[in-house]
Structure 1
């Protein structure tokens, strides 16, 4: 059985590719059930965010190619397109990769905390779909434990540098005084929550939150004294927004070029700053063609983010040490579990031999054999049966020149080379 981490992320694929392989929240459970039906795949969990789509699996050695083929068919993409931008990590490397993801060391924003919550959601959905059992379950728990250590023992979470923070920082470069701007936030998830917090901290007072459900928009808006509207109300409020930041799980664009054109006319071509954090994109790419619009995607935020991560580099090195230790600990744990299974089988075999020899002994006693004769026969029978298979295998190993197996046998059974010799 092998552990596998397979996927694409912001380092290997553009946003245009990532949005094609993203799993919508309502798709994940069904996708997990499908993946578990694949030959060689025993456990699977899916992590799908704006910056990555990854599958964590317990599988046979060929599980990676099987899953990549399935992803190609599921998303109706040429296999070659996925192969060119995907990566695969096995066993210890897979464990280390998941821990680096959980700690935010593999994120676009170094050390960002949201990914840990997304990984926990991935685990919960896999549990609900019954696509995760012992091996992956232990790996997830170890990843959560290491992430907690990194958060509490290093400064990786200090100096806020998230996608949300980067988006607001960029707005400050566009507007001389961002506090005088009005903002329209599309979505009501964690990222938009963070965006709203950063905007308020920078003095923005007029904020509108648009969401598919009004209740969720109101719950978020109430924290910041903002207005809540439905997605269908966006055309009515768009013209009054200087800043538009969108992050939803919609599979189709929410803002089209036509709607933005109409808003610009009402604004008499005063500039609009727009950031589309979503994957798939919420704002049509063609909007970038319009004059007076500054449109950025998550990929465009990279430069802003890179300026803010320098302070976290030392903390990241400390985190890598904790991750390496956590990986070693996990792999030792898994090897120990392998030994437990082997020992259980060995004990069962020994107990079966014992019971067989005891049965023979009782029969001999019932036939009137002396206790001394029966005990001697029992001892000889047990000895012969217990060492028969090891003796045969050792002779084969010796004939094949496998001195390493003979040496291992001596170590396992604590045999000194001259144990059988007489010292006299």
Structure 2
């Protein structure tokens, strides 16, 4: 039995290679079944994201080369090209790798939480495909449990490390209750989309999306139950906005000091929190000079992100220790499972020998042999048969000079060297 974790990720392969090795959701079930059919893998799961494609396998004997050959062939890559950027982890190293991935310790953004959900999806798809059995299934459950412990017992995922999340977190520090706040988002690109998602998750009362084209603003607004307007409508919306976050591709500022001053007067100087994520800036720097305006730039946010990353790196050490404990616990349980199989086989053998001796004793009783004699013969016969195989093997081990095995046998049968003398 061997566990293998094999794949490529953002550290080892370029975007071009990662795109070519990625599996679409539609491919996964068929790919998993083919993987188990063509390679020596008895159990398999595939994790495929924008940053990594990894195969988690259970095999009788480790054969990573055959799996690499299958992976290269499946995606029409040369084996040499794939081998140059692939990594292979085996047994406890494979277990550790899976647990580190699920805990966000191997992610591009340290501690990011999405990867755990992606790994749970990979497990669900493998179960659907019928390629996860008892061993890989136990490993996934242990991995999820360890990742949960890391999330619960460390601060690795607490502090925001994206600009969008940092902007929303700053807003939460200024407005203790975002449920009563209105946000004006300027732009409709990827960063503003992330900001809208975070604000929506925080339960902001109302979100307005302002953009040069109403169609683009409407698409984003529809996703989060927001309201879409054109940039020309910003002055009216600014009056009711407690939070303003801007990220456009404009080469010139689109929100000036005068417009903000007029809005503040109408708001009776109720504070406005502003974040300008754009480069070049969307909001005139002079706006920050106004009383009742809290203006942050993308540089301010990068400082927050850097500080939070430092905090996460401090938590990562504690997380690594928890992963180490998770690996040790899982491998110990696995070793115990191996003993269970041996014990089951030994018990079956002993019960077969017992049944044979009981049947012999019953025949003797039916033939009129005295009960005392039958019981004595049953005891001798059962003892001799139970001791026969161990005796033969111990003599052979002794003849071969395997004194270490003899010491193990002494421990296994709980034998005390002085027991015979003390009983005399």
**Compared with structure 1, are the counterparts of its residues 25 and 196 closer, same or farther at alpha carbon in structure 2 (3 Å cutoff)?**
farther
What does residue 6 of structure 1 align with? 6
Unaligned ranges ≥5, structure 1: 169-178, 186-190, 212-216, 228-240, 245-266, 272-291, 293-302
What does residue 188 of structure 2 align with? 183
Once the 2 structures are TM-superposed, how far is the Cα of residue 71 of structure 1 from its aligned partner? 0.2
What does residue 142 of structure 2 align with? 142
Instruction: Kindly indicate whether the alpha-carbon contact (under 8 Å) linking 2:44 and 2:56 is maintained by their aligned counterparts in 1.
Output: yes
Once the 2 structures are TM-superposed, how far is the Cα of residue 335 of structure 1 from its aligned partner? 1.1
What does residue 152 of structure 1 align with? 152
Once the 2 structures are TM-superposed, how far is the Cα of residue 417 of structure 1 from its aligned partner? 2.5
What does residue 68 of structure 1 align with? 68
So what's the TM-score if we normalise by structure 2? 0.72
1:365-376 mapped onto 2 (5 Å cutoff): 365-376=365-376
1:258-337 mapped onto 2 (5 Å cutoff): 309-337=309-337
What does residue 295 of structure 2 align with? none
Once the 2 structures are TM-superposed, how far is the Cα of residue 35 of structure 1 from its aligned partner? 0.8
1:24-423 mapped onto 2 (5 Å cutoff): 24-162=24-162, 181-185=186-190, 194=194, 196-197=196-197, 205-206=209-210, 221-225=223-227, 309-421=309-421
For the residues of structure 2 that align with 1:408 and 1:316, how far apart are their CA atoms? Answer: 41
Q: Deviations 1:193-240 (Å, cap 9, x if unpaired)?
A: 645436999x983369999xxxxx67962344459xxxxxxxxxxxxx
Once the 2 structures are TM-superposed, how far is the Cα of residue 100 of structure 1 from its aligned partner? 0.6
Once the 2 structures are TM-superposed, how far is the Cα of residue 154 of structure 1 from its aligned partner? 0.9
For the residues of structure 1 that align with 2:306 and 2:317, how far apart are their CA atoms? Answer: 17
Instruction: Kindly indicate whether the alpha-carbon contact (under 8 Å) linking 2:5 and 2:88 is maintained by their aligned counterparts in 1.
Output: yes
Once the 2 structures are TM-superposed, how far is the Cα of residue 60 of structure 1 from its aligned partner? 2.7
Instruction: Kindly indicate whether the alpha-carbon contact (under 8 Å) linking 1:209 and 1:221 is maintained by their aligned counterparts in 2.
Output: no
Once the 2 structures are TM-superposed, how far is the Cα of residue 137 of structure 1 from its aligned partner? 0.8
The alignment of Structure 1 onto Structure 2 pairs a total of residues equal to 341
**Compared with structure 1, are the counterparts of its residues 367 and 157 closer, same or farther at alpha carbon in structure 2 (3 Å cutoff)?**
same
For the residues of structure 1 that align with 2:367 and 2:215, how far apart are their CA atoms? Answer: 91
For the residues of structure 1 that align with 2:313 and 2:28, how far apart are their CA atoms? Answer: 34
So what's the TM-score if we normalise by structure 1? 0.72
**Compared with structure 1, are the counterparts of its residues 369 and 20 closer, same or farther at alpha carbon in structure 2 (3 Å cutoff)?**
same
Q: Deviations 1:86-135 (Å, cap 9, x if unpaired)?
A: 11111111111111111100000000000011011111111111110111
SS at 1:324 equivalent:
helix
Aligned-CA RMSD value: 3.5
The higher relative CO (CA closer than 8 Å, separation ≥ 6) is in 1
**Compared with structure 1, are the counterparts of its residues 353 and 131 closer, same or farther at alpha carbon in structure 2 (3 Å cutoff)?**
same
SS at 2:96 equivalent:
helix
Q: Deviations 1:254-283 (Å, cap 9, x if unpaired)?
A: xxxxxxxxxxxxx9x989xxxxxxxxxxxx
Unaligned ranges ≥5, structure 2: 169-183, 230-245, 254-279, 281-302
**Compared with structure 1, are the counterparts of its residues 355 and 181 closer, same or farther at alpha carbon in structure 2 (3 Å cutoff)?**
same
Instruction: Kindly indicate whether the alpha-carbon contact (under 8 Å) linking 1:353 and 1:386 is maintained by their aligned counterparts in 2.
Output: yes
For the residues of structure 2 that align with 1:34 and 1:26, how far apart are their CA atoms? Answer: 14
Instruction: Kindly indicate whether the alpha-carbon contact (under 8 Å) linking 1:2 and 1:90 is maintained by their aligned counterparts in 2.
Output: yes
**Compared with structure 1, are the counterparts of its residues 379 and 17 closer, same or farther at alpha carbon in structure 2 (3 Å cutoff)?**
same
SS at 2:3 equivalent:
strand
Once the 2 structures are TM-superposed, how far is the Cα of residue 308 of structure 1 from its aligned partner? 5.2
Q: Deviations 1:2-42 (Å, cap 9, x if unpaired)?
A: 11111111111111111110011111111111111124211
